[in-house]
Amino acid sequence: MLASKEPLLEIRDLNLEFQVQGKRIKCVRNLNLTIPNGGIVALVGESGCGKSLTARAILGLPPENASVSGEIFFKGQDLLQLSNGSFAKMRGRHLAMIFQEPMTALNPVLTCGEQVAEVLQTHTQCSFEEAKEKTCALFTQVGIPDAVRRFASYPHQLSGGLRQRVLIAMALCCDPELLLADEPTTALDSTMCQQILELLLSQSKQRGMAVLLISHDLENVRAYADMVCVMYAGSIVEQAPTHEFFLNPKHPYTEGLLLASPRRIKSSVRRLPMIKGTVPSFANMPKGCPFAPRCSCALAVCHEELPELKNVDGHFVSCHKYD
Ligand SMILES: Nc1ncnc2c1ncn2[C@@H]1O[C@H](COP(=O)(O)OP(=O)(O)OP(=O)(O)O)[C@@H](O)[C@H]1O
Ligand SMILES: [Mg+2]
């Protein structure tokens, strides 16, 4: 089903590096990723492996000290070749992002409604009254009760869940084709987390909007994504359609992540296994496969050569086990 859809976003050989004290530190390495029109692709992996940096590179907002290379085709156009002005016109209109820090993403001195209306006015040249009407309709659609009153509320007057709904309304207001949702439910309680995710993904279905869902919650990924990509130390190490991914994980790191998923504690397991060790520092990457020092099935070659991403029974996986 997914494979028949046209690609909306095609990332080829993306690299992102920092200059730190005269040293080049590569935090995203040779990343390839495709998101089809209307598809939901999940990006998972331990903290610090480069997920947010990847999303920020797609949105054209990498950290100031970063340099980005490669190609990011969006509807056939390479975003990395766009001028700042052309990119600004795309951002919010065709590509939108829900940032990982929901509490700081809203401007405290503007009302919630004004902030959404401003995005609408910037991209659609409508009057303030039209933008206000559309914002209130959108607030209702994303489950904000009493929308007209909430239009005039400042962020500090809303609960975390309502603020997150305002951010979703802002991201959806211009009907973008692609939404980058970077852990959109961090800092929310588990009931609210579920409601917000369901809202986001029902909006995606209604609007035919593609989503890059960055998440630590593998059960939500299983429920909502069409495709899963696992990132480790700046690279994608496994990618597969969701059902196949959970049924038959190939990379030892993926197996470890699935075994360590906290939801398992409810079922059969009382004590969760951990992946031993920690993610290597980008400033000090081991030779060979970056997962090798933590991998219980590492071979001699794993400590010497970086494995290539190859197709193994429909999974793309980078592991010498399959050479
Ligand atoms: N401005 C910066 N300068 C130097 N290094 C940075 C900078 N921003 C990020 N990094 C490095 O890039 C790594 C990856 O960051 P990123 O925010 O993409 O991780 P992540 O996968 O989103 O993690 P999390 O799950 O915790 O959000 C960080 O651990 C850090 O080492
Ligand atoms: Mg992050």
**Residue appearing with tokens 């005039």:** 152
In angstroms, rounded to a whole number, what is the distance separating the alpha carbons of residues 173 and 107?
17
Residue from 28, 51, 56 whose mutation best tests the ligand 1 pocket (most atoms within 8 A of CB) = 51
Residue after which a domain boundary falls, among 151, 173, 195: 173
Give the bridge partners for 311, in sequence order: 316
Atom of ligand 1 nearest to the CA of 27: 12
**What CATH number did the domain enclosing 85 receive?**
3.40.50.300
Nearest ligand to the C-alpha atom of residue 230: 1
Same domain? 286 vs 149:
no
In this structure, are 140 and 51 located in the same domain? no
27 and 169 housed in the same domain: no
Q: What residue's CA is closest to ligand 1, atom 24?
A: 47
Question: Range of 122's domain?
Answer: 108-173
| Helix extents (H) in 112-263 | 112-124, 128-141, 147-151, 160-172, 190-207, 218-224, 242-247, 252-259
Q: Report the C-alpha gap between 228 and 156 in whole angstroms.
A: 35
Q: Could you tell me if residue 100 is inside a domain?
A: no
Ligand nearest to the CA of 56: 1
Q: 185-242, pLDDT tens digit by residue? A: 876 777 878 888 888 888 899 989 999 999 988 989 999 999 999 999 999 999 999 9
In this structure, is residue 1 part of a structural domain?
no
Q: State which of 158, 173, 188 marks the end of a domain.
A: 173
CA 10 to ligand 1 centroid distance, Å: 22
Would the CB of 282 count as within 6 Å of ligand 1?
yes
Q: Are 232 and 45 in contact (CB under 8 A)?
A: yes
Binding site membership of 53 for ligand 1 (Cβ less than 6 Å)? yes
Say if 140 falls within a structural domain: yes
Residue 5 has pLDDT above 70, yes or no: no
Ligand index nearest the alpha carbon of residue 65:
1
Q: 208 and 156: one domain?
A: no
Provide the residue count of the chain.
323
**Which atom of ligand 1 is least distant from the CA of 56?**
18
Locate the DSSP E strands across the chain: 7-20, 23-36, 40-44, 66-74, 77-78, 95-98, 178-182, 210-214, 227-232, 235-241, 310-312, 315-317
Whether residue 169 is found in the same domain as residue 296: no
Judged against a pLDDT cut of 80, whether residue 100 lies above it is answered with no
Task: Give the end of a domain, one of 119, 144, 173.
Answer: 173
Find the helix or strand (DSSP H, E) in which 209 lies.
Answer: none
Nearest CA to ligand 1 atom 27: 47
99 lines ligand 1 (CB under 6 A): no
3-class DSSP state for residue 290?
Answer: coil
**Is ligand 1 within 6 A of the CB of residue 27?**
yes
Indicate if the pLDDT at residue 1 is higher than 60. no
Q: Is the CB of 49 under 6 A from ligand 1?
A: yes
Give the per-residue pLDDT at 268.
Answer: 56
Residue 4 is predicted with a pLDDT of 47
CB 102 within 8 A of CB 187: yes
Count of alpha carbons within 13 angstroms of residue 46, beta-carbon side: 17
pLDDT in tens, 125-135: 899 999 999 99
pLDDT confidence band for 3 (50 / 70 / 90): very low
Residue nearest to atom 8 of ligand 1 (CA): 63
- Total domains, the chain: 2
Same domain flag for 250 and 139:
no
Q: Same structural domain for residues 198 and 291?
A: yes
Residue 46 in any domain: the answer is yes
